[in-house]
Amino acid sequence: MTIATRAKIFHNLAAGKGYERHAGLQSPTATYITATAASGLIGCAVRYNNIGTTFMSTLQGITVPTTSAPLRLISMVTHDNGNMILLVRIYRFGTVDLTAIGNSFTHDAGTFPVTRTQYGQVSQPVNLIPLFQLTTSLATTAAEVRFRTVLGAAGYTNQANASVVGTQTFVFPSATTPAGSCYIPMLERGDSGVRDITNVEVTVVSTAGVLEVYGMELLTAFHSGGVIHQSVSDTLFRGLGLPDLQPAVATSGSITSHLVQLGGQNSNAFPMSYLTAVHDV
C-alpha cells in the first residue's frame, strides 16, 4: 500500500520499516570556474558522500538500503551556508575523451531510458536533466563539445522520445577547468530533458581531460537561508507523492547511479544531512 498520510508513516515506522541515514556531503573540488554563456551559464557542485569516498578516484552517493519496495523520503535536514539545495539521483550515460577529436563518446553498457511507476502507471520513462562532470582536469585548451556525431547523427533522445541532432556547442569556461567541475549543458530550443544521450562530438580538444555525462532526476528541493542554517524539507505536502529514493529501473543491463545533493557552484560548504524515509508495504 502506497504511503499517503502521516498516520501511515508512523504505522510503518512503528513496524520497523523506517530508515534514517546521516551523510557528510562534499564537493569533489573547491576550485570553481564560473560557467559562461558558452558553457550554458549554469555551473553546479555535485556533493557526494564523503564517508568512505576518496575524491575523485572513488565517488559514492548517499547509501540507502536495497529493497523491493519503494523507499519514500519523508524529510531531510541539512546544515548548509545558505544555498538552494536539490536532492537528486544521477544516472551515468557514459564518458567522453576530451583529447580525441570527433566521435569521442563511449556509452555505458546499460540501456536507457530509466523507468518508474508514475501517476499510477508502471514503467514510465523518466526525463532527466543533462549534467557534465569532469573527472580529469583540462590542460592547455578549453575543450568544446556538442550533442551529435561528425556526420550529423542524433546526439540525444528528448523528453518526447524524439532523436535530436544538437546544434549548441558547449565550451568549457577555462583551459584548466579542474576535475570535479560540473555544468548543465544546453539542449535545443523547446527541449526540457533527455531520456538518453547517444553521441557527443568533440570539436576542439584539450591535451588532457575526461568528461562523465549524467542525467539528473530531481527528487526534492529546499532553500537554507542565512550564513549557517539548518533547513528541513518535509516532502509529504510538497508534491503529489513522497519521492522514491531507490533508482529508476534501466531498460536493460546495469546503470551507474548515485543519490547526491546538488548545490550552487560557488559554495565551498561541506553540508551534513540527515534523511528519514519509510518503506511502502
The DSSP code sequence of 101-146 is: -EE-EEE-SSEEEEEEEETTEEEEEPPBEEEEEEEEEEESS--EEE
Helix or strand (DSSP H, E) at 14: helix 6-14
Q: Do the beta carbons of residue 182 and residue 244 sit within 8 Å?
A: no
Q: Is 150 strand, coil or helix?
A: coil
The whole-number pLDDT of residue 238 equals 60
Between 77 and 228, the more confident residue is 77
The whole-number pLDDT of residue 267 equals 54
Between 221 and 64, the more confident residue is 64
- pLDDT at 228 exceeding the cut of 60: no
Measured CA to CA, the distance from residue 76 to residue 275 in angstroms comes to 5
Q: Return the C-alpha cell found at 184.
A: 548543465
Between 270 and 260, the more confident residue is 260
Q: Taking residues 236-244, report their average pLDDT.
A: 72
Show me where the domains of the chain are located: 6-279
For residue 113, cis peptide bond before it (omega within 30 degrees of 0): yes
Banded model confidence at residue 65, pLDDT cuts 50, 70, 90: confident
- pLDDT at 172 exceeding the cut of 90: yes
Percent of the chain with pLDDT over 70: 89
Question: Nearest Cα to 70, choosing from 246, 276, 251?
Answer: 246
The whole-number pLDDT of residue 130 equals 98
Measured CA to CA, the distance from residue 236 to residue 239 in angstroms comes to 7
Banded model confidence at residue 35, pLDDT cuts 50, 70, 90: very high
Q: Is 70 strand, coil or helix?
A: coil
- pLDDT at 42 exceeding the cut of 80: yes
The whole-number pLDDT of residue 111 equals 98
- pLDDT at 266 exceeding the cut of 60: no
Banded model confidence at residue 28, pLDDT cuts 50, 70, 90: confident
Banded model confidence at residue 273, pLDDT cuts 50, 70, 90: confident
Percent of the chain with pLDDT over 90: 57
Measured CA to CA, the distance from residue 261 to residue 238 in angstroms comes to 18
- pLDDT at 6 exceeding the cut of 60: yes
Measured CA to CA, the distance from residue 104 to residue 81 in angstroms comes to 38
Backbone φ and ψ for 11, nearest 5 degrees, come out as -65, -45
What is the model's pTM?
0.93
Tally DSSP H helices, then E strands, for the chain. Answer: 1, 21
- pLDDT at 271 exceeding the cut of 80: no
Q: Do the beta carbons of residue 19 and residue 65 sit within 8 Å?
A: yes
Residues 6+ apart with CB under 8 A from 94: 105, 106, 107, 108, 197, 212, 213
pLDDT averaged over every residue in the chain? 88
Banded model confidence at residue 237, pLDDT cuts 50, 70, 90: low
What's the order of all strands across the beta sheet hosting 249-252?
Answer: 121-125, 111-118, 249-252
